[in-house]
A = this chain, B = another copy of it.
Amino acid sequence: MSYLEREINEQPEVLRRLLAEEWSNVSAIAQAIRHFQPTFVCIAARGTSDNAARYAQYTLGIHNRLPVALAAPSIHTLYEAPPDLSRALVIGISQSGQSQDVLRVVTDAQQQGALTVTITNDSASPMAQAAQHHLALLAGEEVSIAATKTYTAQLMAVAMLVAALADSDSLRAELQALPQHVSETLRQGEAIAHWAERYRYMTSFVAIGRGYNYCTAFEISLKIKELCYVTGSGYSEADFLHGPIAQVQPGFPVIVIAPTGKTLPVMLDFCPRLKERQAEAIAISDDDRVLAAARQQVRLPSGIPEWLSPLVAVVPGQMFAMYLAQAKDHELDRPRGLTKVTITR
């Protein structure tokens, strides 16, 4: 068995561990944030971690009314002209905790008097040491180059922080059911392995989500690019309509991420537009209408609150990327030309 498959399957256990062990640390961080009263949040991250930052933009915005900026690290590293972050909560996210450019944003912010928090999977890493607060993912070593369990752990860390900041018992309670929902979703692996074969020769694709699941569209698309070497992008449904939809011709594969929630109506309106163009839709949803409109269906468990659906909806995409890479005879744990820690300036 590949490390990739093992790590995908470890996700329920990783999420349970985080929920069991990090609440007191998360509460202390929430307390520090309330005390600091940031006027906005700035998050620095790259790759998969940047998709966790996208998740944070929606959850911190909607539940905590905090506006979120995604940092442009080159402003700090190449231009050496850091913006004024003194009134910000600055969060650095990195699986390895080794990202030099992300670290630079955090240390610049710290010098300016910002409140700094890092989220990493290595408490001994430079990023874990650099900030005032560190949130550990406790995911165990991730050997596969394509990040999976550390991604869902990052989302969980963000969700815990959101619940603690809102000081909401009902939000906290909603988190507890998550590992079980992920377990149920993993059971769809066999079906996905079967129909993934059909996409052996696909040359391009897009993944579309909206709102909370904007990050899911990005992350699924990144996994497919990394593991399957196929060109494609993640889009918000709204951005997709502003131009990129022109590329959809008959048979063009479109992954539609549409769980129940406030974004479902726009995603339902979107489905017929794919049908008109005879796109090949792959749906990840708990809604019968969305599923019925697609060529392939991954049914999500019902009853997942929309704000937590990204932790579950990404899992079928991880499995699809893995099984498609397998169908293409690719190395699952070491995709061509990638390394586990990417150092960028």
Contacts and interface: CB of A to CB of B under 8 A. Distances in A.
Interface stretch (A39-47, A123-131, A297-305): A39-47
B61 A266 contact: no
A121 interface: no
Contacts of A82: 65
A173 interface: no
Contacts of A206: 231
Interface stretch (A10-18, A183-191, A237-245, A312-320): A237-245
B229 A231 contact: no
Interface secondary structure of A, over-half rule: mixed
A236 interface: yes
Nearest to A72: B57
The number of times this chain is found in the oligomer is 2
Contacts of A230: 247
B229 A79 contact: no
A344 B58 contact: no
A40 B62 contact: no
B225 A88 contact: no
Contacts of A243: 47-48, 146, 222, 225-226, 338
Interface string A163-200: 00000000000000000000000000000000000000
B78 A239 contact: no
A72 B55 CA distance: 11
Contacts of A236: 74
B75 A238 contact: no
Interface of A: 39-40, 42, 46-48, 50, 57-58, 60-63, 65-70, 72-75, 78-79, 81-85, 87-88, 101, 146, 203-206, 210-211, 214, 222, 225-227, 229-233, 236-239, 241-249, 262-263, 266, 277, 335-338, 342, 344-345
28 contacts: A39-B84, A40-B87, A46-B242, A57-B72, A58-B74, A58-B75, A58-B79, A61-B75, A65-B81, A66-B83, A66-B84, A67-B88, A72-B211, A72-B214, A73-B238, A74-B210, A74-B238, A75-B211, A79-B262, A203-B203, A204-B204, A204-B231, A225-B244, A229-B249, A231-B231, A231-B232, A237-B344, A266-B345
Q: Which 9 pairs, one residue from A and one from B, show the smallest C-beta to C-beta distance?
A: A47-B242, A69-B69, A204-B231, A238-B344, A67-B83, A62-B81, A226-B243, A39-B87, A61-B83
